[in-house]
Amino acid sequence: MSNKQNKAPLEAVEHIKTDSNYLRGTIAEGLKNAVTGALQDSDTQLTKFHGIYQQDDRDIRVERRRQKLEPLYSFMIRARVPAGISTPQQWLAMDDLAERYGGGSIRLTTRQAFQLHGILKRNLKTTIAGINQSLLDTIAACGDVNRNVMCTPNPENSSIHAAVAKAAASVSAHLTPATTAYHEIWLEGEKVVDTQKQSSDHEPIYGKTYLPRKFKTVFAIPPHNDVDIYAHDLGYIAIVEDGQLIGFNITVGGGMGATHGDSATFPLLAQVIGFCGVEQVCEVAEAVVTIQRDFGERTNRKHARFKYTIDDRGIDWFKQELNQRLGWDLELEKSFEFTSTGDRYGWSENDDGSFNVTVFIENGRIKDQPGFMLRTALRKVAEIHTGDFRLTANQNVIVSGISPQQKSRIEKILDEYGLFDQNKRSLLRINSMACVAFPTCTLAMAEAERYLPSLLDKIEVLQHHYQISDRAIVTRMTGCPNGCARPYMAELGFVGKGPGKYNMYLGGDFSGKRLNKMYRENIDEATILQELDVIFSDYAQHADEQEQFGSFVIRAGYVQAVTHGSQVHLMTGENHA
């Protein structure tokens, strides 16, 4: 329902945005307050737009309370990396900041960005300045705006990839908030706004209230759906004819987030609505975003994502509104095919003669541990590399554009530090990912990143027992139903319900075209393994040779294929009326 017709009160965040003077609030003042490690509540909503989340260490929350101490507050900083492309200098800058302020750890995210955790308030400005000095930034990495724009990372077809990444970067720049608050607060920029008059800043696309909710944009290059295009608000599918990029099919209305027990919330797949030329990508993005700005729900954040705007009003309404705003009609969609969602590990050669190597990073966590000095290894590569790093949407990294002269040097480092051994881990594991969850995520209900590796150890044993270790199964785990590792697209998904308890989902598609469905609710590890024992036994005996796990569980009747996201959280038998 449009906000003009909806008489319900606006969400509190809407007032915070309106009154914030284009995202300033009292952040600058709060940073100076040394009495607490936290910021004011309203400012913590605004810092998200600057790429900063206030968190506390949940492992010691109870103990701190017992000691009558405030929670151990710190901040997560997310740096945008458009199209996931980082220079070696930017890599080194993140490495250095992680070492100095972020507990020695870098997190590669499911949206091709960098995250640092555990930054104390007093170190926030220095860290943000360091990120900006490396020519990355954090504005709009979070908040009710367009986030980091993703793009298929593998540059095998270099010229096409470069053209698509350029389009992604242009949309990213076009949709970046215009407020000068970011420079003013974090980079000691010139104070261009009179805070009393709240007048001279501007936001030509978003306006004072920004979007009703976060907004996510992605570019994919078929046949690789390694960015999970159908899980995003706005997508561009590259169409190549005669070796030339001729334009993009547009997708709209995807999203993952849901709330346990609230049937009005569910994941939805994006739909393809037409085709536009390469030069039209920004115009389309702006028109789509302004439709969500004007029609998205602002009285209920749980219903505020773009996916609901489209689901409520229908795709035909949306197409008409879009064409009207554009002043021209999208062309009919062109044909394309996706075949996989995963990354292609190991070496590949580009059409310009340079090389790439993709390395599996378990759950995107880069840190040094005894016996596995992963952060050091990648730093050593960055110190000599003359190409790029590409962060993948599966939380892995591609060292790309390696010159033939450098290949053996980089190979030697990766080999010496055991990074190639990571790629030799089970097919199950290298097709898995987990969100951050505990101890930093304020919304986590169960472990994810810290637990999935040990669960996979046990599932690997089962796979081995049934001799199906050669079958890749896309497996994803999140610590709550928000879906940060896109678990509803997985062939085998686990979503945290409470400590040690997960809902188990089956039936996603290997190429990311189908949502999965809840198979068991609130189960512990022993039950997960019992359930998988039965299903793996059946799969081993009855699956066709090429049949993917996600397709088999539907054919064998473990779950029904869902036709609309509202069915995902219903148990088998409860839906499809």
Burial state string for 330-365 with b = 16 or more CB within 10 A and e = fewer than 16: beebbebebebbbbebeeeebeeebbbbbbbbbbbb
Q: How far is CA 17 from CA 11, 47, 155, 399, 430, in A?
A: 10, 11, 39, 40, 41
Output b/e per residue, 509-547; b: 16+ Cβ within 10 A: bbbbbbbbbbbbeebeeeebbebbeebbebbeeebeeee
Q: Which of 25, 84, 102, 479 binds ligand SF4 (CB under 6 A)?
A: 479
Instruction: Catalytic residue, from 484, 486, 497, 517: name it.
Output: 484
* HSE-CB for 552 with a 13 A CA cutoff: 20
Q: How far is the CB of 497 from ligand SF4 (least distance, A)?
A: 11
- State the minimum distance, in angstroms, from the CB of residue 438 to ligand SF4: 8
Asked if 85 is part of the footprint of ligand SF4 (rule: CB under 6 A), the reply reads: no
Site string for ligand SRM, 503-542 (x = CB under 6 A): ----------------------------------------
Interface residue with ligand SF4, options 27, 484, 506, 543 (CB under 6 A): 484
Instruction: Give the residue from 99, 103, 96, 94 showing the smallest Cα distance to 75.
Output: 103
58 annotated active-site: no
Q: Which of 127, 356, 440, 511 binds ligand SRM (CB under 6 A)?
A: 440
Applying CB under 6 A, the span of 289-297, 381-389, 437-445, 529-537 interacting with ligand SRM comes to 437-445
Asked whether the beta carbons of 253 and 236 are under 8 A apart, the reply is no
Element (H, E) at 251: strand 244-252
Task: Give yes or no for a contact between 182 and 50, defined as CB atoms under 8 angstroms apart.
Answer: yes
Contact residue for ligand SRM among 23, 38, 113, 489 (CB under 6 A): 113
Among 193, 437, 474, 568, binds ligand SF4 (CB under 6 A): 437
Q: Which of residues 416-435 bind ligand SF4 (CB under 6 A)?
A: 435
User: Per the structure block, which two tokens stand in for 442?
Assistant: 């304020």
83 near ligand SF4 (CB under 6 A)? no
- 536: phi then psi, degrees, rounded to nearest 5: -65, -40
Q: Could you tell which of ligand SF4, ligand SRM, none binds residue 177, using a CB distance below 5 to 8 A set by kind? A: none
* Interaction partner, residue 440 (ligand SRM, ligand SF4, none; CB < 5-8 Å by kind): ligand SRM
- Residue whose structure tokens are 């910021």: 39
Q: Which of 107, 216, 293, 375 is catalytic?
A: 216
Tell me, yes or no, if 61 is annotated catalytic.
no
- Binders of ligand SRM among 71-90, rule CB under 6 A? 76, 78
Which of 393, 448, 554, 559 contacts ligand SF4 by CB under 6 A?
Answer: 448
Kindly indicate which of the ranges 42-50, 190-198, 472-480, 507-515 contains the residues binding ligand SF4, using the contact rule CB under 6 A: 472-480
Q: Is 443 in the site for ligand SF4 (CB under 6 A)?
A: yes
Q: Is 282 a catalytic residue?
A: no
Partner that binds at residue 109, options ligand SRM, ligand SF4, none, CB closer than 5 to 8 Å by kind: ligand SRM
Q: Which of 550, 183, 509, 207 is nearest to 341 (CA)?
A: 509
Dist CA 46 CA 174 (whole Å): 21
Q: Is 409 a catalytic residue?
A: no
- Binders in 248-277 for ligand SRM, by CB under 6 A: 255-257
Question: In sequence order, what are the residues at sequence separation of 6 or more whose Cβ sits closer than 8 angstroms to the Cβ of residue 75?
Answer: 47, 52, 53, 54, 55, 118, 119, 120, 121, 124
Which C-beta is closer to ligand SF4: that of 21 or that of 475? 475
Write down the catalytic residue from 293, 305, 480, 497.
Answer: 480
Catalytic annotation present for 484:
yes
| Beta sheet of 501-506, edge-to-edge order | 432-434, 475-478, 492-498, 501-506, 517-523
Interface with ligand SF4, residue 436, by CB under 6 A: yes
**Pure H helices in 487-548:** 525-542
Residue 151 falls in the annotated catalytic set:
no
- Count of C-beta atoms within a 10 Å radius of residue 29: 12
Which one of the listed residues 78, 80, 486, 497 is annotated catalytic?
Answer: 78
97, 49, 71: which is closest to 440 by C-alpha? Answer: 71
| Residue 432 near which of ligand SRM, ligand SF4, none (CB within 5-8 Å, type-dependent) | none
Instruction: Decide which of ligand SRM, ligand SF4, none touches 478; Cβ closer than 5 to 8 Å per partner kind.
Output: ligand SF4
Counting every residue written for the chain, the total comes to 577
Active site residue 147: yes
Closest CA to 506 of 522, 519, 525: 519
Residue 415 structure tokens: 């080999």
Contact assessment for residue 461 and residue 450, using Cβ atoms and an 8 Å cutoff: no
The smaller minimum CB distance to ligand SRM, of residues 175 and 485, is found at 485
- Shortest Cβ distance from residue 407 to ligand SRM (Å)? 30
Give the range of 151-159, 339-347, 478-486, 563-571 binding ligand SRM by CB under 6 A. 478-486
**CB nearer to ligand SF4: pick between 55 and 463:** 55
- Decide: residue 140, CB within 10 A, 0-12 exposed, 13-18 middle, 19+ buried: buried
CA distances from 569 to 4, 480, 488, 517, 531 (A): 32, 13, 10, 6, 18
Distance CA 363, CA 109 (A): 8
Residue 161 binds which of ligand SF4, ligand SRM, none (CB < 5-8 A, kind-dependent)? none
Q: According to the binding rule CB under 6 A, does residue 553 interact with ligand SRM?
A: no
Give the binding site for ligand SF4 (CB under 6 A).
Answer: 435-437, 441, 443-444, 448, 478-480, 482-484
Give the binding site for ligand SRM (CB under 6 A).
Answer: 53, 55, 76, 78, 109-111, 113, 115, 147-148, 214, 216, 231, 255-257, 305, 364, 435-436, 440-443, 482-486
